[in-house]
Structure formats: C-alpha cells, structure tokens
Amino acid sequence: MRYAPCVLILPMSDLITHIVANYNYWIYITLMMIGLYAIIAKNNLVKKIVGMNIFQTAIILFYISIGAKKGATIPIIEHAHGDHGAGSSAVHAIEYINPLPHVLMLTAIVVAVATLGVALALALKVYQQYNSLEEDEILDQIREK
Amino acid sequence: MKILGLIIAVLTGTLLIYTTSDFPSWGDPSSPASTHLSPHYIEKTLEETSVPNIVTAVLADYRGYDTMFETTVIFGAGVACFFLLRVPRRKEPVERLYRHTLTGMTLRIKDLDEVPENLDEFERIDTLWAPYDLIIKTVCRLLIPFIQLFALYVIAHGHHSPGGGFQGGVILGASFILLAVSYDLRTAKERLREKLGGILCAVGVLIYAGTGALCLLLGLNFLDYSALASILHVDPITARSHGILIVEIGVGLAVMATMIWIYDNISSEGKYEEGL
C-alpha cells in the first residue's frame, strides 16, 4: 500500500508531518482515552457513565472522519427530484462523501442514548438501595452485610 | 486505582496512536472505506430507490435489517427502564400539596385516602415546587407546536434533506420532555398518557416489522419494498421510496415514545407523581 510505514522508523521531520497529517485520529484517541480513564478510575457511577458517553463520542467522530473525502459534498444527490436519475447526469462517487459511516453512526447515536437511559436507570436503582453513588461506599455496605 | 487507570489509558492510547500510521490520511477518496461498497451506494441509489438522500436509502432499504433491530434495541431500552424503575401505585396514604390559584396559599394534605381529582380553584404542585414562572411557561407553550411541526418535517422530508425517523423522533420526544420540564410531569402525562406512550413505542416497531412481513407476504424478500408496488399502484422503484417513508414513520414513533418513556421513568423514579 502507498500509506506511510510505521512511525518509529521515520526521521523526525517526517514524523512531525505525519502527526500533522493524521491529527484527526490523535484527537479521537485522546478523547477515547479520557473516556476509558473515567470508566476505570472514577469512583462515582454517574461519572463512569459520562466516561462511557465520551468513549462513544470518540468512536462516532472516528467513523465520520473515515467517511470524509476532500472536496466532496454531503451524500444527498443534487438536482434530483424523484426522476429516478433519468435525464440527469451520471453520479460520480468522488463528488459525495462516503454515506456508510453516517448510516452506522446514526444508529449508534440512538443506541448510545438508549444505553445511557438504561445505565441511568440502573444507577438510580443502586442509589435507592444504598443511598450513595460512590463505588467504595457501596462496596463497603455490601461487605458489611 | 487512579494510577492503574492512567497507566492503562496511556498504554492503550500509545498503542492506538502507533497503529494510526497505517491509516489513510484525512479526506483520502481512495481509502479502503470509500472504495468497495460505498461507490455502489452513491452511484446506484437514485436509480434503484429514487431517494436523493443516500443516507436515508442505505439506512432504511439496503441496511433495513440493521435499522429494524436498532429500533428493537430502542424499544428494549424503554422496556428495561420501565421494568427497572416503575413502581405500582402505593397503597399507603399519600401527602400532597395543593396551591390555591387566587391567593397563592399552599395546603399540605396528609393521610388522604382518596384524593379529589376535580378541584377548580386549586392546582396540585410538586413538593419541591419552584415559584410560578410566567416567561418560561409562555415561551415553551408557544414554541412546542413549532418544534413538533419541525419534527414532522424532519421525518417526512428525510428523503430530500438530512433527516429521517431517528432525528425527527428525537425532536418530537424532546418537545414532550420540554413540556414536562417547563410545566410539570403531570401536565405532560395528561397530553400523552403513559399507556399510550408504551403502545406507540410498540406500534412503531410493529410498523417496521409489519412492512417487512407484508413484503414477504407479497412474494418478495423481507423488507424488499418493491413488493409494495402492487398495493400502492406505483412502479417498483417509487414503491421503494414509499416503503422507506413508511418505516421511517415507524422508527419516528418508536424513538419518540421511548425517549419520553425513559425520561418519565428516570425523572420521577418510576412513580409518575412528581418529575423534574
């Protein structure tokens, strides 16, 4: 493939241009790791749920950036009013961005909302039971029983 | 735990960043994701389904199964919230607050076995009642019909502009949640009863799956909307466009009802008495 080989064997100036060229992935990975850190390290259940949502957002941004094409427009075919494409000029794939990641992420966003709802419901149930959302306090109460 | 989490996050991040060197650069039209299946969708969607918005066509037609089970997941989430949180009406005597609308006097009624429902000069208020806010209530009352109209436009115009069942359904659900936030939960529940919301949620999924089953009955594959041509009296390509609209309406109903359902259950802890 014509993509650049691995970062470590490149000289320094090439490394910097490579980072600049792929900066979008670095942003998503940073965002994703913020979410992962929140899921692992935070003590509060709601903060863990927020971390899960940050993680999902990073994945959504990653997919959307995969679908981008330079100089292309949104995947809605122009000058088409239900004439089945007859009479209009041929549609070229290079003029429109990739619609597939958008479709996948459209459903992923809604599933993210649904999982958020269920997660909040579970957190609410835990709070009703233990009067706390802090993980260590809940574990202490479980051990005492 | 914090240090362990930091180490794990940094290590995973470094590994992931190391792999980005194999990724295509930003906006590359010849990246693997844009070369295999997506050119077919972009070039053939209009002649195969007569829908200009490729995302809508792929969502509801080419990847119809995915979206159908996605809708089922939404429905499942609503049902899960309901079963986790909903508590049956309590038998013990309740304590309620009533406010006399003319004088602003508040009555606290305890140990009430049967609550009178029709009190003309009194309105029921929440225990954590914030003072009557005229501006918020008036603005929301004026805005909500337009929000709902916009939501219907987003659902119906999903073929030609960004939009569709998921987006329109969420906007429609948000308008009801805005009513619950600006007034109180009981006002919103009078407009859309809990039972009706649950039924709408199921009806949305049923419309989607039923359209697929109807295509099956008419002799073609499940969710192959060109089978609807004989019922709708149009050519098979336009029938696919209409079939997409029908399932988008189903998706919109299911998403709207589920959003309201989840909000009601979480905000009132399943009691439906007092919300946020």
The whole-number pLDDT of residue A1 equals 46
Which residue of chain A has the CA closest to B159?
Answer: A76
One-letter amino acid of B75: F
Report if residue B110 sits inside a domain: no
Answer whether B232's CB lies under 8 Å from B214's CB: no
Q: Is some CB atom of chain B closer than 8 A to the CB atom of A103? A: yes
Task: Print the domain residue range for B262.
Answer: 52-89+131-267
CA of A108, closest CA in chain B: separation in Å? 9
Q: Verify whether the Cβ–Cβ distance A32 to B16 is below 8 Å.
A: yes
Most B CBs within 10 A among A18, A81, A103, hence the mutation to make, goes to: A103
Query: Does position A6 have pLDDT exceeding 80, yes or no?
Result: no
The per-residue pLDDT for range A18-32, each reduced to its tens digit, is 777 778 888 999 999
The whole-number pLDDT of residue B10 equals 93
The whole-number pLDDT of residue A119 equals 94
Residues 6+ apart with CB under 8 A from B18: A6, A7, A8
- Of the candidates B208, B140, B127, the residue with the CA atom closest to the CA atom of residue B169: B208
Task: Name the helix (H) or strand (E) containing B142.
Answer: helix B134-156
**Which residues does chain A have within 8 Å of residue B267's beta carbon, measured at their own beta carbons?**
none
Q: Is some CB atom of chain B closer than 8 A to the CB atom of A98? A: yes
Contact residues, B window 197-226, toward A, CB-based 8 Å cutoff: none
Q: How far apart are CA B93 and CA B110, in angstroms?
A: 7
A&B contacts, CB < 8 Å? 202
Q: Verify whether the Cβ–Cβ distance A21 to B26 is below 8 Å.
A: yes
Answer whether B113's CB lies under 8 Å from B93's CB: yes
Residues 6+ apart with CB under 8 A from B61: B49, B51, B223, B225, B240, B243, B244
The per-residue pLDDT for range A57-110, each reduced to its tens digit, is 999 999 998 888 888 888 888 776 545 445 456 788 888 898 999 999 988 898
Report if residue B194 sits inside a domain: yes
Q: Verify whether the Cβ–Cβ distance B21 to A98 is below 8 Å.
A: no
Q: Output phi, psi for A76, to 5 deg.
A: -125, 120
Rg of chain B (C-alpha set): 25
Which residue of chain B has the CA closest to A93?
Answer: B39
- Cα–Cα distances (Å) from B201 to B108, B177, B251, in that order, read 37, 16, 9
Residues 6+ apart with CB under 8 A from A85: A91, B46, B47, B50
The whole-number pLDDT of residue B116 equals 63
Report if residue B234 sits inside a domain: yes
Strands (E) across chain B are located at 94-100, 106-112, 122-125
Report if residue B17 sits inside a domain: no
Most A CBs within 10 A among B21, B59, B61, B171, hence the mutation to make, goes to: B21
The whole-number pLDDT of residue B92 equals 61
- Cα–Cα distances (Å) from B202 to A69, B112, B192, B211, B272, in that order, read 39, 36, 15, 14, 20
List of domains in chain A: 7-72+93-144 (1.10.287.3510)
Report if residue B241 sits inside a domain: yes
Which one of B28, B29, B265 has the shortest CB-CB distance to A121?
B265
Mean pLDDT of all residues belonging to chain A: 83
Q: Is some CB atom of chain B closer than 8 A to the CB atom of A70? A: yes
Residue with tokens 């589920």: B258
DSSP per-residue letters across chain A: --S---GGGS-HHHHHHHHHHTHHHHHHHHHHHHHHHHHHH--BHHHHHHHHHHHHHHHHHHHHHHT--TT-B-SB-TT-SSSTTSSSPPP-GGGB--HHHHHHHHHHHHHHHHHHHHHHHHHHHHHHHHS--BHHHHHHHHHH-
The whole-number pLDDT of residue A34 equals 94
Residues 6+ apart with CB under 8 A from B204: B71, B75, B250, B251, B252, B253, B254, B255, B256, B257
- Cα–Cα distances (Å) from A60 to A9, A73, B29, B228, in that order, read 31, 19, 20, 34
The per-residue pLDDT for range B25-60, each reduced to its tens digit, is 888 888 888 888 888 888 888 888 888 899 999 999
Residue B165, CB-side half-sphere exposure with 13 Å CA sphere: 31
Residues 6+ apart with CB under 8 A from B156: B168, B245
Q: Is some CB atom of chain A closer than 8 A to the CB atom of B42? A: yes
Q: Distance between alpha carbon B136 and the CA centroid of its chain, in Å?
A: 24
Which parts of chain B sit beneath pLDDT 70?
A: 90-94, 111-119, 129-132, 276
Q: Output phi, psi for B72, to 5 deg.
A: -65, -35
Number of separate domains in chain B = 1
The whole-number pLDDT of residue A85 equals 46
Q: Distance between alpha carbon A123 and the CA centroid of its chain, in Å?
A: 23
Residues 6+ apart with CB under 8 A from B171: B147, B148, B150, B151, B154
One-letter amino acid of B79: V
**Which residues does chain B have within 8 Å of residue A29's beta carbon, measured at their own beta carbons?**
13, 16-17, 20
One-letter amino acid of A4: A
Q: How far apart are CA B55 and CA B45, in angstroms?
A: 10
Report if residue B208 sits inside a domain: yes
Report if residue B84 sits inside a domain: yes
Q: Is B89 helix (H, G, I), strand (E, B) or coil?
A: coil
Here the tokens at position B173 are: 């659900």
